[in-house]
Structure 1
Amino acid sequence: MFRKKAASFAAAALISAACSVASATEMTQVAITYIIDHPAIDAARMGIVDELEAHGFKEGETLELRVQSAQGSMPTQLQIAKEFAGLEPDLLVAISTPSAQALQSTAGDIPLLFAAVTDPVGAKLVESIEAPGGNITGTTDKQPFGPTLALIKTLVPDAKRIGVIYNAGEANSVSQVAALKVELEAHGLEIEESTASQTAMVADAALSLAGRADAILIPTDSTIVAAVESVVNVGERAKIPVFASDTDSVERGALAALGFDYYKLGRLTGEMAVRVLNGESPAAIPVGALDTQDLYLNTSAAAAMGVTLPDDILEQATKVIQ
């Protein structure tokens, strides 16, 4: 459990010596939580911790770190948020929109950073991207759907209907689907929606798209990404190409993704954490984002889903998984 940094002593003569001992043993206290375990979130967390260590905040030496997953349960996430706020750390960090919303409701005046939140304004976490306000800022994984839809049309030229699976209870996902609908219309494509509020429901949600969708696009939805193998299984059996919005899902069987490297996003979040720990106000730090997208392709998945990957597309890939 985190310890308070301040102490009171009855004898004024002992204050100076006691504070000297305390300063020699004090450690910066950071608490990190996230809604569910999956590779993209894990990569973001690793990036944050590595960046902190690169700036001298090393766990066990100068950093007291507490990390806890909500295992996909929002009531558990709210409980973790209350527990973490009660510990009064130097910094709270939330990875994912539900986690950030939970911590924001309990943080009080404790500085708070979020990572991998697609629409922080829509989720009512910040006042604006440029001037977050309050005691919170962080990084967003929002990315344009246009390039991904262009990729889908290149690899699946006959596709007319794009299936999307998402958790309708996540503000992050609802925002993405609204933006996707606009982009689909601009590309002459239609949407087929399927929802899942828990990872155990993802397989059935994916199966419901068989016969309705010509391709499936998975948004940056923690619930769905945590069970991406269930979607891949349906895609292979029904010959429906599965595209992701995070590159880690391609390593887990999705055909392709034009998305962010979540480890790099974590490092960016870590840079912001260092600034806050060094005294900057989160309110004055604009929400950060990566400015490049990586193309990941999976040749085995392409073959299993009935897609041929052209040589010129393979040459453009940041990484090709066999």
Structure 2
Amino acid sequence: MFHWKLASVATALLLVAAGSAATRADTPQVAITYIIDHPAIDATRKGIIDELAESGYKEEETLKLHVQSAQGNMPTQLQIAREFAGLGADLLVGISTPSAQALQSAAGDIPVLFSAVTDPVGAKLVASLEAPGGSITGVSDRQPFGPTLKLIKALVPDVKTVGVIYNAGEANSVSQVEALTKELATHGLEIAESTAAQTAMVADAALSLADRADVILIPTDSTVVAAVESVVNVGRKAKVPVFASDTDSVERGALAALGFDYYKLGRLTGQMAVRVLQGESPASIPVATLKTQDLYLNRSAAAAMGVRLSEELLASATKVVD
């Protein structure tokens, strides 16, 4: 009887193990990659994962999740994309333009979602915003520059030249600068450009604008946003107000931003991910974007950069950082 009990226990354990293996084999796999770590991208990633979990795709329970940063290195990003394509994942997600482009190139027939991509058509990720085609769609963070320029003119009435720092090798950023240049002309303003191919070059790029621009506007460029503190330091020392396009940068020292909440952007991307995991084709899902912008203000940055924030403006802000 003792041997029979041992055999029964062993059989039961084998059945449990087999059942667990079958469960693991059937568990959906999602792989997320992004070009560099910074708060806006971190918030986007968290939003995606939280939305998946709340929709029943919980990491280590009902979802196998792979997450990797390229640490600002494009060859590394391409390698990660190839590795992810070989996983047999059900869905690949790229946060930022270079990450999405790398996944698109490596994915083959695997569905791909992008997030925080400003110009998905210009980056050749989709055929159009309404009908993406292929096996990729996602969420864009394209924002109109008009409201931001009105904010800049209200806070810095004597502004004539707006300085912009961007990575000229990133399609997303080039597209933004082109759009900004056109918008500036309608407001009677000029642009001063400075480029930074790597995060380590952002400080020097900011310094080059200190005597050429009345304000600095940081676009949604991952290379620059990752080093926003270095731009803020230049702004404080030179008394050049620094505006951002993402709200997280205000908490890191920028004076103001009229932009998207990137956690909400991630949640929207997560909703799209659920649709794909449930069988919907990316080709039939239009590119989405958030509908509202939030105003973030930083009191100490304003004081250091010589800008007065009215009580009326402070009262209208979504968040005021002290």
TM-score, normalized by length of structure 2? 0.93
**Structure 1 match to 2:108:** 108
Work out the CA distance in 1 between the residues paired with 2:52 and 2:130. Answer: 24
- Aligned counterpart, 1:138: 138
SS in 2 for 1:297: strand
Residue equivalent to 2:11: none
The structure 1 segments of at least 4 consecutive aligned residues displaced by more than 4 Å after TM superposition are 18-23
1:318 aligns with 2:318: yes
Partners of 2:67 and 2:220 lie apart in 1 by 22
Q: What residue ranges of structure 2 are gaps of 5+ in the alignment?
A: 1-16
| d(CA) in 2 for partners of 1:39, 1:241 | 21
Question: SS of the residue aligned with 2:117?
Answer: coil
| Equivalent position of 2:205 in the other structure | 205
- SS of the equivalent of 2:126 reads coil
Aligned to 1:309: 309
Read off the aligned partner of 1:277 and give its amino acid letter.
Answer: L
Tell me the percent identity: 78
Q: How far 1:20 moved relative to its partner?
A: 7.0
Deviation at 1:252, TM superposition (A): 0.1
What is the DSSP-based 3-state SS (H/G/I as helix, E as strand, rest coil) of the residue aligned with 2:308?
A: coil
What is the letter of the counterpart of residue 279 of structure 2? G
The within-5 A match list for 1:1-322 is: 23-25=22-24, 26-322=26-322
Measure the CA separation in 2 of the matches of 1:28 and 1:53: 12
Partners of 2:168 and 2:290 in 1: how far apart? Answer: 26
Which letter maps to 1:311? E
Distance 1:274 1:22 in 2: 24
Give the secondary-structure state (helix, strand or coil) at the position aligned to 1:126.
coil
Deviation at 1:111, TM superposition (A): 0.5
The structure-2 alpha-carbon separation of the partners of 1:21 and 1:246, relative to structure 1 and needing over 3 Å to count, comes to closer
Deviation digits for residues 282-313 of structure 1, max 9, x if unmatched?
A: 00000010000000000000000010001111
* 3-state SS of paired residue (2:193): strand
Matched residue SS, 2:106: coil
Shift of residue 210, structure 1, vs aligned partner: 1.1
Query: What is the alpha-carbon distance in structure 2 between the residues aligned to residue 191 and residue 312 of structure 1?
Result: 29
Residue type at the aligned position of 1:112: V
CA-to-partner distance for each residue in 1:106-126, whole Å, 9 max, x for gaps? Answer: 000000000000000000000
For 1:134 and 1:299, locate their aligned partners in 2 and report how far apart those are by CA, in whole Å. Answer: 46
Gaps of 5+ in 1: 1-17
1:110-147: per-residue Cα shift (whole Å, max 9, x none)?
00000000000000000000000000000000000000
Larger-gyration structure (1/2)? 2
C-alpha distance after superposition, 1:200-253 (max 9, x if no partner): 000000000011000000000000000000000000000000000000000000
CA distance in 2, matches of 1:197, 1:312: 39
Give the superposition deviation at 1:23.
4.5
Q: Which range moved further: 310-319 or 49-58?
A: 310-319
Give aligned pairs, total: 306
Instruction: Give the letter for the 2:51 counterpart.
Output: E
Distance in 1 between the 2:88 and 2:191 partners? 45
In 2, the alpha carbon distance for the partners of 1:21 and 1:46 equals 28
AA at the equivalent of 2:23: A
Query: What do you get for the CA RMSD once the two structures are aligned?
Result: 1.3
Q: What is the identity, as a one-letter code, of the residue corresponding to 1:24?
A: T
Q: CA deviation at 1:24?
A: 3.3
Q: Which amino acid aligns with 2:141?
A: D
- For 1:232, give the aligned amino acid: V
How far is the alpha carbon of 1:22 from its aligned partner? 5.4
Separation of aligned partners in 2, 1:127 and 1:230: 37
Cα distance, 1:161 vs structure 2 = 0.3
How far apart, in 2, do the equivalents of 1:78 and 1:141 lie? 23
Normalising to structure 1: TM-score of the pair? Answer: 0.93
- Once residues 24 and 214 of structure 1 are traced to their aligned partners in structure 2, the CA distance between those partners, rounded to angstroms, is 60
Deviation of the 1:315 alpha carbon: 1.2
Secondary structure in 1 aligned to 2:149?
A: helix
Q: Which amino acid aligns with 1:105?
A: S
Once residues 178 and 210 of structure 2 are traced to their aligned partners in structure 1, the CA distance between those partners, rounded to angstroms, is 22
